[in-house]
Chain A
Amino acid sequence: MDRRDFLKVGLGSSLLLMADGLDAFAGEFGGGEFYGVLVDTTRCIGCRRCELACAKAHNLPIPDVSDKSVFDHYRDTSPTQWTVVNKFKTEKGYVFAKRQCMHCVQPACVAACLVKALVKHDTGQVTWNPRCMGCRTCMYSCPFDVPKFEFNTPTPTIEKCNLCYERFKEGKIPACVEACPQEALIFGTRRELLQEAHYRIHEYPDRYYPYIYGNREVGGTCYMYLSPVPFDQIGFRIDLGTKAFPEYTTGFLYAVCQVLVLWPAAMLGFYTATHMNSKKKKEDNE
């Protein structure tokens, strides 16, 4: 148990069941910075080597990346495919875009999990832990529908991209980034990636649609995207808003403490008021 967890348990286990403050998600905690990936879809050629590298790195079934027929239909990630490349027909021709966990700065899945099976690390990665009880509230809550569940086994797990956390700890960059022949993926701190993205948009205004997806969406994500066309043309939701998802529940969680203190007090008041009369009646009868 690290210091943060200790503090959180100390605050929370008082059974007041109150929110321990969403500042637990703040990226700068402990002086670290969030790492992430910038996807430049103008450079992606749809070779799917990121899919292959991901499968190899995580012992998933090896995909046949020479098969281009997969681009005929939109594909979602699955328990055995943590990242997939899709092809979109846009106003500027075909654009390829890779899909995986966005590693939100303030993830809905982490806020939704009642056993902290989903963890947001100080360095940005969102990973899953087997203490999970399989309630699937993370899936119900994720704005990008990323966590995937194994429905056909008695011992299911939640599967999703972990931004190669195990490789990160060994000082290596994510497998997909390493495998990309086009440098369409770059790994770095979120701050560096934003600088780079702003620079590219500024330097090549004809090449890019002037927007960084993931900069502000749902409070910001560690995976960020550049695109030649508006993002709804390459399969992104542009209606998610900029409010971090856990903040939707803070109002309720703060109200919990108020109800907890005021409601029993009010009931005691009602009880005294209503029973004073009946006591009086009894005395009068006597």
Chain B
Amino acid sequence: MNGARTPEIRSFGDFVSFFLSELKPRGKLITPFNVISLPIMIIGLILIVIRLVKGLGAVTNLSNQFPWGLWIGFDVITGVAFAGGAYTLCFIVYILNVEKYHSIVRATVLNGLLAYMFYAGAIFLDIGRWWNIYNPMIGNKFGVQAVLFLVAWHFLLYMIAEAVEFSPTVAEWLGLKRVRKILSGMTIGAVVAGVFLSTLHQSALGALALMTKGKLHPLWFTEFIPLLFFVSSIFGGLSMVIFEGSITHKVFHFKLSQDKIKAYGDILAGLSRICAGAMLAYLLLKLLVLAHTHAWHYLNTPWGYWYLFEVVGLTFVPMLIFIAGARSKNNLAIRAAAMLTLLGVMLNRLNHVFIAYKWYIPLSQRYYPSIGEIIVTLTIIFAEVWVFRWIVHRMPVLEGPPAWAKEEVEE
């Protein structure tokens, strides 16, 4: 679809009329996804209103025993791990100069940016006194000794870095040639900032669990949680890239040239190898930690089986499938491995937040997510997908920069 028209935008009025014309929906309105997601999003919005009017207890199963649940554990902590593909891929493409993956950078960065906006934005719903959310930013006391202070600032700064990384695409959509040139000059700076910010806040999300000693099961509690969170965000994020790519390639097939579709097999195999490498490093770390914390004897208990399910079943096994899939170029196997890996990373994060947390509390008094929490979570995911789809339909995300922008790069 390189034939998409480039608008002539000279004034703010031009922009408004162009934007309004772009707001119109494209493609079929009645699709299975729309039919399923729309009602859920409407219920979700009602639940969000109830949460804001009546308090967290009206929608969630949270209690004073389990202060953190699905909204923090999945929406924020798992969502950010899944968004780790953006910084990993930017590092590979821009810093290590591996041109092979350049074609999927835009979609990945867009996905990462939206993930931070929606999933980290979900923190608004979870924090009880949300009207104070700007306090750590404006300095109504900087709690600089807090890990969460670092996380809050890094979320904000990283969203800016990702917005800069993505901004040339927006300029191309609007046909702003000069602006595009300035913005693409900032990419490498944004990438360097994005990579070290991500390194720090991916691991900082793990560091939040460092003060749960005595409450988090000994199989999970270790001083190395931050490092483990960082390494798992690499393969968790890349698995998301594979998973998201497999869907967008189906839905937006018409946007891709034959060359790109052909090259995609190579990209998938390459991503699988990187995932498998990171997973091997992660598993070795896990083994070292297990030896270091003398937690072996817990392995032969119900919690041990649960731990092995996460580490062996949902990390070691998908690693093997990734290796086999990359060798035989079996895209189906690679996608299956990616899905298993995503499940494994999710389970790992939820274990730290509420499953293996206070493991000594009997099952009957434990936290499990309410239907309302699940619906609101789905609402946030669907809203992100809607915005992602809207942008991919309109901006040159999958098909690459338009001809005029390419010429500029050649210069």
Binding site for B on A (CB under 8 A): 5, 8-9, 11-13, 15, 17-20, 22, 24, 76, 78-79, 108, 110-117, 130-137, 139-141, 143, 145, 148-157, 237, 239-241, 245-246, 248-249, 251-253, 255-256, 259-260, 263-264, 267-268, 270-271, 274-275, 277-278
B153 at the interface (CB under 8 A from A): yes
Residues of A within 8 A of B132 (CB): 115, 131-134
> Nearest-CB distance from B70 to chain A (Å)?
14
From A12, A13, A114, B152 is in contact (CB under 8 Å) with A114
Q: Is the CB of A271 within 8 A of B64?
A: no
Closest to B54 in A: A154
| Contact indicator B196/A140 (Cβ below 8 Å) | no
New contact pairs (17) apart from A140-B357, A151-B56, A156-B56, CB-CB < 8 Å:
A17-B153, A78-B64, A112-B146, A115-B136, A133-B136, A134-B130, A135-B126, A137-B146, A139-B67, A152-B57, A249-B147, A249-B207, A252-B147, A256-B200, A263-B199, A264-B192, A277-B97
Given the contacts A134-B129, A246-B211, A249-B207, A112 and B142 also touching, CB distance less than 8 Å? no
25 A-B pairs with CB atoms under 8 Å apart are A11-B144, A12-B142, A22-B145, A24-B145, A108-B211, A113-B148, A114-B143, A114-B148, A115-B143, A134-B128, A136-B67, A140-B212, A141-B211, A150-B128, A151-B63, A153-B55, A155-B129, A156-B129, A237-B214, A252-B203, A252-B207, A252-B226, A253-B150, A259-B200, A271-B192
A141–B129 alpha-carbon span in the complex (Å): 19
B95 in contact with A259 (CB, 8 Å)? no
Q: A115-B135, A237-B214, A278-B97 are in contact. Are A134 and B149 (CB under 8 A)?
A: no
B376 to chain A, nearest CB (A): 16
Q: Mark B133-159, 1 if CB is under 8 A from A, else 0.
A: 101100111111111111111100000
CB distance from A42 to the nearest CB of B (A): 27
* One of A132, A153, A248, A271 near B223 (C-beta < 8 A): A248
Please indicate the chain A residues that have their CB under 8 angstroms from the CB of B195 in the complex. Answer: 263, 267
Closest to B141 in A: A116
Are A268 and B63 interface neighbours, CB within 8 A?
A: no
CB pair A17–B144 under 8 Å, yes or no, is: yes
* CB-defined contacts of B378 to chain A, threshold 8 Å: none
Complexed CA–CA distance, A10 and B60 (Å): 40
Q: B213 in the interface, Cβ–Cβ < 8 Å?
A: yes
B contact set with A: CB distance below 8 Å: 52-58, 60, 62-65, 67-68, 91, 94-97, 123, 126-130, 132-133, 135-136, 139-154, 188, 192-193, 195-196, 199-200, 203-204, 207-208, 210-215, 223, 226, 357
**Given known contacts A136-B68, A246-B211, A252-B207, A114 and B97 CB-to-CB distance under 8 angstroms:** no
User: Which residues of A lie under 8 Å from residue B357 when comparing CB positions?
Assistant: 140
A263: chain B residues within 8 A (beta carbon): 195-196, 199
Alpha-carbon gap, A8 to B53, bound state (A):
37
CB pair B55 A154 closer than 8 Å: yes
Knowing A149-B128, A251-B223 touch, does A131 contact B56 (C-beta < 8 A)?
no
Closest to A12 in B: B144
A32-B91 Cα distance, complex, nearest whole Å: 51
* CB nearest to B221 among chain A residues: A248
CB distance from A271 to the nearest CB of B (A): 5
Q: How far is the CA of A268 from the CA of B149 in the complex (A)?
A: 27
Chain A positions within 8 Å of B67 at CB level = 136, 139-140, 149
Asked if B129 contacts A132 (CB within 8 A), the reply is: yes
